[in-house]
Structure 1
Amino acid sequence: MTSREGPSHIASENPQRLPTKRDVETSIAAMANVAKSDGISAVDESLLEAARRYLADDDIDWRKVAERPADEISATLESDVAKRCVLFLMTAAIFAHGSVQLPRVEASLKIARALGCHEGFLDDLLDIARGREFIGAMRIRAKLMSSHGTSRIQVLKGFWDNMSGYLGLSTDPVLAASYHKLGLLEPGLLGRELWAHYVRNNLRFPGEKGTTGEFIVSHDVAHVLSAYSTEPAGEILAGAFTVGYKARNPFAPLLLVLLQFQAGIKIDFRSEALTGSLDPAGYMDAFRRGLECNADLTYGSWDWRHYAEVPVAELRERLAIPPQAAPAVAGGTYQEVL
């Protein structure tokens, strides 16, 4: 166990910045044109308004920006956050109505190539939109597995830990005991809140039979730090939060939950497939909060154990994670760790 103070500072391992007004305008124009491929709906308008409100520091008239024709959307996306913002908003448009619609995926691909921000997951969504759900979903799952770590060795170890633990081929009683001991810490400390996260969700601790390995703990830590629950609405918010801070395959965790809980495509057999779990305001706010986080919380990049005895509230300040600005989403937040 580490000291209560933890390291004296938290390095900016993921030096993100918020998108500029120009970045947001380009992203909104791209998103609107994706939506216009089969008609802008009230849901699309809610997403566009939420993007303007929670991502732009300056006031933007999204209706005026949305009037730009697709062939007039051109910009030099000079930063990672600009590319990430465009892809994030176009993904929102793709999933706005639940099902992955072919015209919207095709429009996203065209715009992404024009802006120089094409990512492979758009090709996976194209397969899904064309009816090849299994192929597209398996490719997204592969991207998810490769995102659990910052090096190939960590990814391979995580995959082995995942399979061997889940199949019951290996257990680690010492490791499991270290997680059980977190329950002895004072409420409010990161370690104690992580323990509570496992207990309230009836999850097995790493090292126990049938678990998915320790590599997944960074995802659970992100749930605690963001205060987003493991209910469908909370998982989508956590996925959007992750896109903001994650360096390696940032969209993979988000796509998994969007397919499972927004599009009704069963990716994880342990969870029920649902539709319509995306809350526009919470979704955009979660992305912004992730962008403001000054560290990549991924396994192998940020070691939560160094901060196990640091209060969650203090850690949020040190990591620059702002409070939730959007109205609370029913079932989406952990009131205990707000």
Structure 2
Amino acid sequence: MTFLIPTHEQAHAGLRAMKTVLTAAGPLAPIRREALGAIQSHLLRTAVDLDALGPITPEELAAAIDDPALRTQLISGMVTLTLVRDTVADEEQAAIERFAAGLAVEPVTLAQLRKFQTERLMALRVDVIRRSLAGPGIKQLYEDQGFLGVVKNFGSFAGLWENSAVAERYRALENYPEGSLGKELWRFYRANDFKFPGEKHGAPEALLAHDLSHILGGYAADFQSEGLVLAFQAGYKRQDAFSVLVFLLLNGQHGLRLTAFAAPARGFYNDRPGAIDDVVRAFARGSRVKLDFTDHWDFWPVMERQVEELRREYGIEPA
């Protein structure tokens, strides 16, 4: 998404606004304090004393931040921060609404929060999925392979048939050079007992950017690592990046099942000190990547190249 770095004055005003939202219904929760500290450390590069921050009005915030893109990013950040905790108070949503009105922006994440708060969960699922990772991936699959390609991919995922030509191409990655992207992807699938695309119950090729982000980012496949790779992807995604973070938090903090690909959990981050810091760190790391791997990236031409070489080329920092 190319995270916009505010000036020191803008960052200070934004932090005041975020604290105003997060304390609208009571004291600042520890997990949200951790998130604000992580944002300062990994994104803003500031060290403001959160306890010394006073509230700010929408008018004051609008005077401090006039860039529409930065305003939209800030409101989306507010929505994401409210979801870091496993409950969202009506007073917190109301505070975000006032700030959004004062800044004259209407990010999609705010509409998603409204759906969540009013329990319009089916509409929420559809919107988050179509904007985060699965939706764009399926759209690109349709553009590349047409309707029949979509049917073949999801028929394989459902276990109805095997697409042998696709499956064999991925199985052949075993013979790629050691250390190459293709060989490491093959190892990743084998180590985690995942089915290859094209095999029965194998992931659709439309989602390969996610699996390859595991490899390029050096992330494992346990629940916590899945959250980190999603945050990493949100960082490098150029459109609807915050919808990926909304997906992550609805799935991991609020127990909302969004897709068949991600088992939900409630309050996963509550009792894991440092876990939210790791999520923000992964997002920040992704924001400095040079390429959006979800946007029509043709990975086959680089499958034989070394992972370390590709990390340097794409600007992927050491984990």
Same fold (TM over 0.5): yes
Aligned to 1:146: 135
1:31-110 residue pairs with structure 2 within 5 A?
A: 31-39=18-26, 40-65=28-53, 67-74=55-62, 75-77=65-67, 79=69, 82=70, 85-87=73-75, 89-110=77-98
Decide which of 288, 291, 305 is 2:287's aligned counterpart: 291
Conserved 8 A contact 1:239-1:257:
yes
Give the Å deviation of 1:282: 0.9
**Which amino acid is the alignment partner of residue 106 of structure 2?**
H
Decide which of 104, 115, 124 is 1:136's aligned counterpart: 124
Tell me whether 1:251 sits opposite 2:242 in the alignment: yes
Tell me whether 1:309 sits opposite 2:299 in the alignment: no
Give the Å deviation of 1:103: 3.1
- Give ranges in structure 2 of 5+ residues lacking alignment: 270-274
Partners of 1:258 and 1:193 lie apart in 2 by 28
> SS of the residue aligned with 2:241?
coil
**Which amino acid is the alignment partner of residue 73 of structure 1?**
L
Conserved 8 A contact 1:241-1:286:
yes
For normalisation by structure 2, the TM-score amounts to 0.83
Tell me whether 1:176 sits opposite 2:167 in the alignment: yes
**Which amino acid is the alignment partner of residue 245 of structure 2?**
L
Give the Å deviation of 1:170: 5.1
Q: Which is richer in helix?
A: 2
Identity of aligned residues (%): 24
Conserved 8 A contact 2:80-2:245:
no
For normalisation by structure 1, the TM-score amounts to 0.79
Pair 87,284 (structure 1): closer, same or farther in 2 beyond 3 Å: farther
1:190-201 residue pairs with structure 2 within 5 A?
A: 190-201=181-192
**Which amino acid is the alignment partner of residue 137 of structure 2?**
H
Partners of 1:36 and 1:210 lie apart in 2 by 45
Pair 115,167 (structure 1): closer, same or farther in 2 beyond 3 Å: same
1:260-299 residue pairs with structure 2 within 5 A?
A: 260-269=251-260, 271-278=262-269, 279-299=275-295
Pair 70,41 (structure 1): closer, same or farther in 2 beyond 3 Å: farther
Decide which of 28, 36, 40 is 2:15's aligned counterpart: 28
Conserved 8 A contact 1:27-1:85:
no
The range that moved more, 186-195 or 217-226, is 186-195
Partners of 2:80 and 2:228 lie apart in 1 by 12
The range that moved more, 144-153 or 176-185, is 144-153
Pair 227,88 (structure 1): closer, same or farther in 2 beyond 3 Å: farther
Give the Å deviation of 1:297: 0.6
**Which amino acid is the alignment partner of residue 99 of structure 2?**
I
Conserved 8 A contact 1:94-1:100:
yes
**Which amino acid is the alignment partner of residue 200 of structure 1?**
A
Give the Å deviation of 1:292: 0.4
The range that moved more, 290-299 or 170-179, is 170-179
Pair 293,174 (structure 1): closer, same or farther in 2 beyond 3 Å: same
Q: Which has the higher contact order (CA 8 A, sep 6+)?
A: 1
> SS of the residue aligned with 2:137?
coil
Superposed CA RMSD? 2.9
Partners of 1:86 and 1:101 lie apart in 2 by 19
Conserved 8 A contact 2:82-2:92:
yes
Give the Å deviation of 1:118: 2.4
The range that moved more, 82-91 or 176-185, is 82-91
Aligned to 2:195: 204
Partners of 1:83 and 1:160 lie apart in 2 by 40
